[in-house]
């Protein structure tokens, strides 16, 4: 165990926060520092110095650098090690799971550590946001550690940090020359040269002292590999296998893929690998793992053995199997495991992870699989605001469906039309919808469900173009054919209600409230998000800003918590406009920038956010108004709803 140097102040602060939490004032601590700064060592030291006033259970979980992050990985770690009550809900709906985790934090004084949040999947970030906003009513201390030097301006974690203003921020600084001198003199090394070489990074310092060289190699990779090369063949083989497994690696898994584990003691003595409980191992630092992984020649065969062992063992998360299938570059195994990982992510509400898995699966799909996977990916792309990719998937699907039943082709075309709208390609949307209508009306028509969906899309297009009477007519024709299709009923009722808001505001609002209540009661989150977004944006367009802000605030939070990014971004853009018109200029600027700064946001969301920024800059006399208007104008070639406010 390495001695901690110059960590007394942050350690004392963490212990004080734990006491405050145990006394009934739940807290969040954000522990930041660059790779190798000693975040884990500090947390372990905190546990080695128990405080009687802050006794209680410990939940400890981490995020791993998987090719596609494992949804809610910290909860899986906690469930495995602590058997909490929420474990039974891990495969269920996310809202119920989050409520159960919160109940666990309220039950007793508790320390919940989430390590390496810079690798967190979006579901984990949503969990941290959910807990962070409610933790004051618990007796828990939530500590979130992350590498602040890996957070770019648009990193998802950075947005979370901005949404937890009450959290205690603890940043671990590099060691001072005096701190390095304390370690160097004990090792009979020149402290000035050591500090100049390492810049006080504790990992670099301890590695350099252990390694015995006089200069730090060009990178940490060189430092790790210099020691790695001195190990015996068995130890190198063991470390190579372990390096392909992000996070912890079970001993049984190593035993399954290696002829023997005789070299395990040598790897532990090297300091590269450490024990992680009685049944698992982990690299002492992720830098060491990635350094070794990068040197492996032809790791596909080893990935294949790891995959075979995990699959035979059973009970392994599909994302782990998918990770090794991709590493093995085995098309058959990718087709077998990656879609299952996507379905598992989707079942947990992790839409972005599911989309990443389907994206990987599509690169290896056989012809028979393509239509189903393209449909799944396109649907996810529309929800998470990856609209360009979703359009490409539906256009590809349209070509594949040539010769298929007319109803199937028409459904894809009508869905493609709505995606064109998201990218302000309204002429193409109208053309696609017209093709879909023609298909379902040919030769006696198509099944009523397909026709209802196609008519519902046409109703939405007319509503968006503010042809409200036509929208009402198409929506009613859709409802007459919807039969027992509840989603279609609710979607057409939502379009009908939105159109009515422009004809009779109060009647339209009553209709939309009914749709919203039904969607929430029946668990149709996308319909509920759409209803909230339509209520808010229509109220904003009709200059009922108080109503609009109320609906849009609720809608933005509701959609974001469920990874319905397209709805969330559009709600944020319209909320920026409503805030601007209500004199809330700072909030307007913040919300508009949050959309404009996302390159993947749909055209209609970016357009409305740019409009808000341009108006704000004009009113404040800030520079950049013309540039924002020019950018908005370039996106506005669509409906009157888009062109009029930009031109005005």
Is the Cβ–Cβ distance between 487 and 519 less than 8 Å?
no
Structure tokens at 532: 């909230």
Is the Cβ–Cβ distance between 364 and 372 less than 8 Å?
no
Q: How far apart are CA 559 and CA 536, in angstroms?
A: 13
543 burial class (0-12, 13-18, 19+ CB within 10 angstroms)? exposed
Q: Which helix (H) or strand (E) holds 58?
A: strand 58-62
Using the predicted structure, report yes or no on whether residue 543 has a pLDDT greater than 90: yes
Q: How far apart are CA 461 and CA 267, in angstroms?
A: 64
Give Cα separations from 50 to 4, 8, 222, 337 (angstroms): 17, 15, 38, 44
Give the model's pLDDT for residue 447: 75
Under DSSP, the state recorded for 402 is T
Average pLDDT over residues 317-335: 95
Give the model's pLDDT for residue 1: 41
SS3 at position 146: strand
Structure confidence by residue, pLDDT tens digits, 272-286: 888 888 899 998 777
Local confidence band at 151 (pLDDT 50, 70, 90 cut-offs): confident
Give the model's pLDDT for residue 36: 82
Q: How far apart are CA 21 and CA 23, in angstroms?
A: 5
Rg (CA), the chain: 28
Is the Cβ–Cβ distance between 325 and 272 less than 8 Å?
no
Q: How far apart are CA 479 and CA 18, in angstroms?
A: 57
The candidate with the shortest Cα–Cα distance to 241, out of 250, 232, 106, is 250
Average pLDDT over residues 317-346: 95
The candidate with the shortest Cα–Cα distance to 414, out of 439, 396, 387, is 439
SS3 at position 607: helix
Range with the lowest mean pLDDT among 180-194, 429-443, 454-468, 583-597? 180-194
Give the model's pLDDT for residue 189: 67
The candidate with the shortest Cα–Cα distance to 2, out of 30, 50, 37, 51, is 37
Range with the lowest mean pLDDT among 244-253, 283-292, 294-303? 283-292
Using the predicted structure, report yes or no on whether residue 522 has a pLDDT greater than 50: yes
Give the model's pLDDT for residue 565: 93
Structure confidence by residue, pLDDT tens digits, 154-181: 788 988 888 887 899 999 998 999 988 8
Q: How far apart are CA 568 and CA 536, in angstroms?
A: 12
Q: How far apart are CA 416 and CA 393, in angstroms?
A: 9
Using the predicted structure, report yes or no on whether residue 300 has a pLDDT greater than 90: yes
What is the per-residue burial (b if ≥16 Cβ within 10 Å, else e) of 219-236? ebbebbbebbeebeebbb
Range with the lowest mean pLDDT among 131-140, 259-268, 326-335? 259-268
How, if at all, do strands 140-146 and 110-115 pair?
A: parallel
The candidate with the shortest Cα–Cα distance to 14, out of 169, 139, 128, is 169
223 vs 16, which has greater pLDDT? Answer: 16
Q: What is the DSSP secondary-structure string of 157-199? A: HHHHHHT-TTSEEEEPPPPPHHHHHHHHHHTT--HHHHHHHHT
The candidate with the shortest Cα–Cα distance to 435, out of 466, 409, 453, is 409
The candidate with the shortest Cα–Cα distance to 628, out of 638, 618, 642, 619, is 618
**Listing from the earlier edge strand, what are the strands of the sheet with 168-171?**
58-62, 110-115, 140-146, 27-32, 168-171
Local confidence band at 191 (pLDDT 50, 70, 90 cut-offs): confident
Average model confidence (pLDDT) for the chain? 90
Average pLDDT over residues 267-276: 86
Structure confidence by residue, pLDDT tens digits, 499-520: 999 999 999 999 999 999 999 9
Place of tokens 């941290």: 128
Give the model's pLDDT for residue 187: 60
Give the model's pLDDT for residue 446: 63
Structure confidence by residue, pLDDT tens digits, 419-448: 999 999 999 999 999 999 999 998 566 678
Global confidence as pTM: 0.79
Local confidence band at 576 (pLDDT 50, 70, 90 cut-offs): very high
Average pLDDT over residues 253-268: 90
Q: What is the DSSP secondary-structure string of 263-332? A: THHHHHHHTSEEE-STTEEEESSHHHHHHHHHH-SSTHHHHHHHHHHHHHH----HHHHHHHHHHHT-HH
Is the Cβ–Cβ distance between 106 and 156 less than 8 Å?
no
Structure confidence by residue, pLDDT tens digits, 80-90: 989 899 999 99
| Signed CA dihedral, 269, 272, 276, 281: sign only | negative
Local confidence band at 213 (pLDDT 50, 70, 90 cut-offs): low
């Amino acid at each position: 165990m390495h001695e901690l140097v110059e960590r007394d102040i942050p350690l004392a602060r963490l212990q004080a926060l734990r006491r405050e939490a145990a006394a009934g004032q739940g807290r969040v601590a954000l522990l930041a520092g660059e790779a190798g700064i000693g975040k884990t060592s500090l947390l372990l030291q905190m546990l080695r110095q128990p405080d009687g006033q802050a006794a209680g259970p410990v939940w400890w979980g981490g995020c791993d650098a998987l090719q596609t992050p494992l949804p809610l990985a910290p909860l899986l770690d906690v469930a495995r090690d602590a058997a909490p009550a929420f474990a039974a809900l891990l495969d269920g709906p996310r809202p119920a799971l989050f409520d159960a985790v919160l109940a666990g934090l309220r039950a007793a004084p508790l320390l919940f550590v989430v390590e390496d949040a810079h690798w967190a999947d979006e579901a984990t970030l949503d969990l941290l946001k959910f807990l962070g906003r409610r933790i004051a009513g618990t007796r828990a201390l939530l500590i979130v550690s992350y590498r602040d030097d890996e957070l770019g301006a648009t990193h998802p974690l950075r947005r979370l940090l901005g949404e937890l203003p009450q959290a205690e921020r603890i940043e671990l600084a590099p060691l001072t020359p005096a701190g390095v001198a304390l370690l160097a003199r004990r090792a009979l090394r020149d402290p000035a040269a050591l500090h100049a070489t390492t810049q006080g990074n504790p990992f670099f310092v301890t590695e350099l002292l252990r390694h015995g060289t006089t200069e730090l190699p060009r990178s940490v990779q060189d430092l790790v590999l210099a020691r790695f090369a001195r190990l015996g063949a068995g130890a190198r083989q063991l470390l190579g296998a372990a390096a392909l497994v992000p996070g912890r690696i079970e001993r049984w898994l190593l035993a399954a893929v290696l002829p023997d584990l005789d070299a395990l003691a040598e790897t532990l003595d090297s300091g590269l690998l450490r024990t992680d409980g009685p049944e698992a191992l982990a690299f002492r630092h992720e830098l060491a793992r990635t350094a070794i992984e990068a040197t492996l020649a032809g790791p596909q065969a080893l990935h294949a053995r790891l995959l075979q062992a995990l699959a035979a063992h059973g009970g392994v998360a599909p994302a782990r199997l998918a990770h090794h299938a991709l590493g093995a570059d085995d098309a058959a195994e990718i087709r077998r495991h990656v879609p299952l990982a996507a379905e598992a992510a989707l079942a947990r509400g992790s839409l972005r992870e599911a989309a990443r898995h389907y994206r990987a699966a599509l690169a290896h799909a056989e012809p028979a699989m393509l239509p189903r996977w393209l449909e799944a990916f396109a649907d996810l792309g529309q929800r998470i605001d990856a609209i360009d990719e979703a359009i490409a998937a539906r256009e590809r699907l349209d070509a594949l469906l040539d010769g298929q039943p007319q109803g199937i082709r028409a459904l894809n075309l009508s869905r493609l039309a709505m995606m064109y709208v998201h990218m302000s390609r309204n002429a193409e949307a109208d053309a696609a919808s017209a093709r879909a209508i023609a298909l379902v009306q040919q030769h006696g028509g198509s099944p009523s469900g397909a026709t209802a969906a196609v008519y519902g899309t046409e109703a939405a297009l007319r509503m968006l173009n503010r042809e409200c009477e036509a929208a009402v007519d198409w929506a009613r024709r859709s409802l007459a054919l919807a039969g027992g299709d509840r989603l279609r009923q609710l979607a057409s009722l939502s379009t009908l209600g939105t159109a009515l808001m422009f004809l009779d505001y109060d009647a339209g609002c009553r209709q939309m409230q009914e749709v919203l209540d039904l969607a929430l009661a029946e668990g149709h989150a996308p319909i509920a998000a759409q209803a909230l977004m339509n209520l808010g944006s229509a109220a904003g367009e009709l200059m009922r800003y108080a109503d609009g802000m109320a609906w849009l605030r609720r809608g933005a939070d509701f959609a974001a918590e469920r990874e319905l990014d397209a709805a969330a971004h559009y709600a944020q853009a319209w909320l920026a406009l409503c805030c601007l018109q209500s004199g809330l200029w700072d909030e307007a600027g913040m919300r508009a920038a949050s959309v404009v700064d996302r390159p993947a946001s749909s055209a209609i969301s970016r357009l409305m956010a740019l409009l808000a920024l341009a108006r704000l800059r004009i009113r404040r006399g800030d520079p950049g108004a013309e540039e924002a208007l020019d950018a908005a104008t370039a996106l506005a070639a669509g409906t009157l709803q888009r062109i009029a406010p930009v031109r005005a």
